[in-house]
Amino acid sequence: MRDIITNKYNLKEEDMTEVVQRVKILLVNSGNEILLGYSHNDYQFPGGHVEENEALVDTVNREVKEETGIELNLTEIEPFARTLGYYKDWPSEGKNRKIEIYYYEIKTDEKPNLDNTEYTDSEKDGGFKLEYIPLNEVEEVLKKNAMEFGDERGIAHEMLEVFKVYKNRD
């Protein structure tokens, strides 16, 4: 697993007042297409927050089902990358948050089942939709979208970095 670290303020582990864990999944089919979510003018890998006392593999299963309707029932899986972000005064002054995001590749030809999804209000408000993008076009699509709509939250930048790690794995 490759770590990608963001630590603009050179914070230490002991400076963190909160740790948030998330998972994101690269769902790739046999046609070399990746399934991405699109909401609020941002592409995203499906995924979300790890709930209290939830194993990472269980979060992967739950988030894939909630966002795509695909039921995986995995019992084990290893991430290929992890981003570690250290943020000062986030989400408010005096709080320092560490965000760990674990990235997984899942190869599947299962099609999304939109009747089996559970979108958040934010995803619904943002017009959440799923879209297959050929792997050889992902970088171009992300860059073009970021240029058109900006990348204020850094999602496109993060996705491009992770995608580079994904493409260059052993």
pLDDT at 87 over 70: yes
Give this prediction's pTM: 0.95
Q: What is the mean pLDDT of the chain?
A: 96
- Say which CATH number the domain at 26 has: 3.90.79.10
- Report the percentage of the chain scoring pLDDT > 70: 99
**pLDDT confidence band for 153 (50 / 70 / 90):** confident
- Domain housing 57: 2-167
- Work out how many domains the chain is built from and give that number: 1
34 phi and psi, to 5 degrees? -110, 140
Determine the Cα–Cα distance for residues 169 and 24; give it in Å rounded to an integer. Answer: 17
Distances (CA, A) of 1 to 34, 116, 160, 165: 20, 31, 17, 10
- Identify the H or E element spanning 21: strand 18-28
pLDDT at 47 over 80: yes
